[in-house]
Amino acid sequence: MSNYLDYQAAKPVDKRVLDEMLPYFSEKYANPSSLHADGDVATRALDESREKISFFLNAPEGSSIVFTSSATESNNLAIIGSALRNKRKGTHIIISEIEHISIHNIAKYLEREGFTISKLPVDQYGIVKVEKLEKLIRDDTILISISTASNEVGSLQPVEEISRIAQKHGVLYHADAVASEATVPLDLTNTPIDMLTLSSNDIYGPRGVAALYMKKGVRVNPLIIGGGQEMGMRSGSENIPGIVGFAKAAEIAKSEIKQEGPRLSGLRDKLIKGVLETIPKSHLNGHPEKRLPHNAHFRFDYIEGESLILGLKDQNIACATGSACSSKTLEPSHTLISMGLLHEEAHGSLVVTLGRFTQDSHIYELLESLPKVVKRLRLLSPLTPPDLLKQIKEEGEN
């Protein structure tokens, strides 16, 4: 493997998680819907897993956890499910301008189906302008969907305030917590979020499993209809090995998150300081403090993000230039544009995301290679101004 610094795109499954999962493939393989003793083993595993996820969230009494196949599916269930359930009450939904592409595309779909979507703008740091939220709420508003943090620039959103405003107006609040769940503790007993999307892989569990948390009394229409599994909210035989792994991942994350957050923010800050001090015309995107402990998002004038990633790839370093989910579109990031960046600025980004297995040495290696790659690209770029070009030539590439 490379020096892997792209944890927001995918994380390895923790060995402790894998060990917990393995018996459920070939020994404890029964279906929880079966009434025999082997089925009871699977039912117990399912129930215990739900409890572990609830514990991870400090979920209040009476709330429920619905297991799904992906965070994308959880977002669909939360947003389309509540839109369908509440359409007699109203057809207006609020999201932010910088939601994950899955939420943007769900919103576009609902617009075509006759719903109205309003988008809360963000400031230059990618933090939603919460003071404008109340003005967007109307009599027919049924849902607000704003993530806990930007998966891209790492800015933390004012979730507490959003949830209080939603509660005051009797509007449901859904938060996608995928970006923050590994490094920022969640406490749903003390934060009145109605629905929350969690992904297993983002806390070092397997892919192909995720969850939607629903507060007591919240109702959505199911989108997958069939045998009535998951309290009728998501039919289809449960992925027991995946669910057991997800729950183990949540158990580990719960016990380690208080140390892991500060450890990663220490590494992140070393990286940010090192980059900004050694590379001229480099910038940090997102808020300098109110950001995910594991996220550093830079932009470098005069060069393209893609060439940067390829240059780092040659040095055996794996980073990203934006959200992996949007990398197939050649459009500049909607998040950076909403933050007020110009198209050419948005194209020069580098996203470095750290994780459980990131050590000092990984950061030092990047700090060693990145200035050289940037210099090399600037020497080739027609956009580099003559004075900077002269400076680079005088210093030499290395």
CB atoms within 10 A of CB 162: 24
Determine, following the binding rule CB under 6 A, whether residue 102 of this chain makes contact with ligand PMP. yes
What DSSP state is assigned to residue 36?
A: S
Q: Does 82 bind ligand PMP (CB under 6 A)?
A: no
Q: Which of 16, 1, 6 is nearest to 204 (CA)?
A: 16
Residue 199 binding ligand PMP, by CB under 6 A = yes
The residues pairing with 86 across neighbouring beta strands, listed in sequence order, are none
Q: In angstroms, give the least distance from the CB of 10 to ligand PMP.
A: 8
d(CA 189, CA 149): 19
Do 365 and 316 touch, CB atoms closer than 8 A? no
User: Which residue in 83, 162, 172, 178 binds ligand PMP (CB under 6 A)?
Assistant: 178
Tell me which residues in 6-25 interact with ligand PMP (CB under 6 A): none
State which residue, 177 or 188, has the beta carbon closest to ligand PMP.
177
Contacts of 224 (CB under 8 A, 6+ apart): 234, 235, 236
Q: Given candidates 11, 52, 100, 291, which one binds ligand PMP under the rule CB under 6 A?
A: 100
Q: Of the ranges 38-46, 174-182, 287-295, 382-390, which one interacts with ligand PMP (CB under 6 A)? A: 174-182
Tell me if 145 contacts ligand PMP by CB under 6 A: no
Binding residues for ligand PMP, how many (CB under 6 A)?
Answer: 12
Q: Is position 176 an interface residue for ligand PMP (rule: CB under 6 A)? A: yes
Residue (of 384, 366, 199) closest to 281 by Cα position: 384
Among the options 13, 84, 325, 389, which is catalytic? 325
> In the annotation, is 319 catalytic?
no
d(CA 46, CA 240): 7
* Binding to ligand PMP, residues 60-79 (CB under 6 A): 70-72
Enter the DSSP assignment of 48: H
Kindly write out the interface string for residues 298-337 of this chain, putting x where it contacts ligand PMP by CB under 6 A and - elsewhere: ---------------------------x------------
- In angstroms, rounded to a whole number, what is the distance separating the alpha carbons of residues 101 and 99? 6
Helix (H, G, I), strand (E, B) or coil at 154: coil
Q: Which residues pair with 4 in a beta bridge?
A: 318
DSSP designation for 359:
-
Closest approach, Cβ 199 to ligand PMP, in A, equals 5
Q: Does 151 bind ligand PMP (CB under 6 A)?
A: yes
Which residue ranges make up the site for ligand PMP (CB under 6 A)?
A: 70-72, 100, 102, 147, 151, 176, 178-179, 199, 325
Catalytic residues: 325
